[in-house]
Amino acid sequence: MAILIKGGRIVDPGRFVGTGDVLIEQGKIAAVGATVAAPAGATVIDAKGLLVLPGFVDVHVHFREPGFEYKETIQSGAAAAVAGGFTTVCCMPNTNPVNDNQAVTEFILERAKQAGLAHVLPVGAITKGSEGKELAEIGDLRRSGCVAISDDGKPVMNSLVMRRAMEYAKAFDLTVVDHCEDIHLAEGGCMNEGLISTELGLPGIPAAAEDVMVARNVSLSELTGARLHLAHISTAGSVRMVREAKARGIAVTAEACPHHFTLTEEVVRGYNTHAKMNPPLRTWADVQAIKEGLRDGTIDVIATDHAPHATQEKQQDFTEAPFGIVGLETALSLTLGLVDEGVLSLEQAVTKLTSAPAAAFGLSKGTLAVGADADVVLVDPNEQWTVDPAKFRSKSRNTPFAGWKVKGRVRVTIVGGRPVFDANGAER
Ligand SMILES: NC(=O)N[C@@H](CC(=O)O)C(=O)O
Ligand SMILES: [Zn+2]
Ligand SMILES: [Zn+2]
């Protein structure tokens, strides 16, 4: 089936920016240009007034299958992804069992195929059971379809284990993704350490718990030459160190999450557990540093760290509730907020949702290049809407953005040439 997307504002970073048409044939991008003729029998989608973008790539999501299907399944997670404009998502291995072997990887890929929505690419564990002790079978994980390795949810505390992981990863051409947190410095904490944690009487997690691990990982990347990707950076110190590492030519990329460039620790007042995530919401100065890092290219990628948890789990004391919030269905609007604020140009914002994450993981995604998989998203940049968690595709509703009035909404999502989400036909 051929599809011609007509008259939209195309933003294909570094390739084509301007009003034009996109032709899809046999699941691939067949042509992009100011005017492309519709072949006989093609379905024409009128994209006037809409942005036409490469499908977004999220290198950091938690779909809870296997093991925690009550929070999210691969099916519900993939549905949330395409509703949010994400056509490729990389799912972290902190499931039960942990994705530290070929059987779990193959199970995830099979489930993703059955869902038939987004491309769901597994991230394998660095260590067996993500226990930080013994390396997983990294070569097997690579061969069975893992696109990166991480023990996300936990850091790899032992520096020698991390060094060996990086050496293997380099040999297998895999990116190593680390959740930078010194667990001893962070132990017992549930929000950012500072004045507010003292006022609220909550145990804090100092910025240094993140910073020291960023410093270590950058050093190990320099030592081994492995490609390092830093998950969810949240502190001014991390931004500073990544900036310096890049200036020195170290193979490091970094991601920031929408909540870390939108909210500060102030939101924790009121003890709303939807403001509890790891790393925690930080200070205004940290948020400014994250924005500056995004603006100047220090932070390459916007990733959601979509971390669904059930309502009853979040309805506990702040100290008891699990860390994490869902993000797939609000990320686009919050990112466009940075464009409205003048922090990013639209092309920069699209880059950080598409080609940059693809490059960080070495994926041939996030582009409208002729011959690429036809993963395309149509966005109305001006549509205003109110975040209503009850309408999420995700099984979970743990978001601090409920009731927020935001701008920019996905109209249509196409994966491999197949429309898999259409806001017009959808109950919202
Ligand atoms: N970010 C979170 O607060 N939680 C994540 C784990 C993680 O990303 O470290 C989760 O799996 O729930
Ligand atoms: Zn993490
Ligand atoms: Zn995570």
Query: For residue 428, what pLDDT is reported?
Result: 46
Query: For residue 426, what pLDDT is reported?
Result: 62
Q: Which atom of ligand 1 is nearest to the CA of 92?
A: 11
Q: Which atom of ligand 1 is nearest to the CA of 323?
A: 3
pLDDT in tens, 343-368: 999 999 999 999 999 999 999 999 99
CB 294 within 8 A of CB 344: yes
Closest CA to ligand 1's atom 4: 324
Closest CA to ligand 1's atom 7: 153
Query: Which sequence positions are flagged as catalytic?
Result: 305
**Which residue, 90, 119, 65, 61, is CA-closest to 331?**
61
Helix (H) or strand (E) holding 289: helix 284-296
pLDDT in tens, 184-240: 999 999 999 999 999 999 999 999 999 999 999 999 999 999 999 999 999 999 999
Query: For residue 376, what pLDDT is reported?
Result: 99
Query: For residue 1, what pLDDT is reported?
Result: 82
pLDDT in tens, 118-168: 999 999 999 999 999 999 999 999 999 999 999 999 999 999 999 999 999
**pTM passes above 0.90:** yes
Q: Is 164 helix (H, G, I), strand (E, B) or coil?
A: helix
Q: Is 386 helix (H, G, I), strand (E, B) or coil?
A: strand
Q: Write the burial class of residue 137 (CB in 10 Å: 0-12 exposed, 13-18 middle, 19+ buried).
A: middle
What's the average model confidence in pLDDT over 31-44?
Answer: 97
CA distance 7 to 105: 41
Does the pLDDT of residue 427 top 80, yes or no?
A: no
**Which residue, 282, 396, 273, is CA-closest to 323?**
273
Q: Name the residues around ion ligand 2, CB cutoff 5 A.
A: 152, 179
Q: What is the 8-class DSSP label of residue 187?
A: T
Q: Is 163 annotated among the ligand-binding residues? A: no
Angle CA 289–293–297, to nearest 5: 170
pLDDT in tens, 244-284: 999 999 999 999 999 999 999 999 999 999 999 999 999 99
What's the average model confidence in pLDDT over 288-301?
Answer: 99
CB 99 within 8 A of CB 112: no
Closest CA to ligand 1's atom 10: 307
CB 412 within 8 A of CB 377: yes
Query: For residue 277, what pLDDT is reported?
Result: 98
Token code pair at residue 264: 């500060």
Cβ of 305 less than 6 Å from ligand 1: yes
Query: For residue 425, what pLDDT is reported?
Result: 81
Which conformational region is residue 145 in: left (phi greater than 0), alpha (psi within -120 to 50 degrees), or beta?
left
Angle CA 68–73–78, to nearest 5: 145
Cβ of 324 less than 6 Å from ligand 1: yes
ipTM computed for the complex = 0.99
Which of 274, 282, 305, 394 has most ligand 1 atoms within 8 Å of its beta carbon, as the pocket-test mutant?
305
Alpha carbon of 92 to ligand 3 centroid (Å): 7
Does the pLDDT of residue 34 top 70, yes or no?
A: yes
Q: Which atom of ligand 1 is nearest to the CA of 276?
A: 3
Cβ of 179 less than 6 Å from ligand 1: yes
How high is the mean pLDDT of the chain? 98
Residue environment code for 38-72, b if the CB has 16+ CB neighbours within 10 A, otherwise e: eeeebeebebeebbbbbbbbbbbbbbbbbebeebb
Residue-range domains of the chain with CATH? 3-52+373-384+402-425 (2.30.40.10), 55-361 (3.20.20.140)
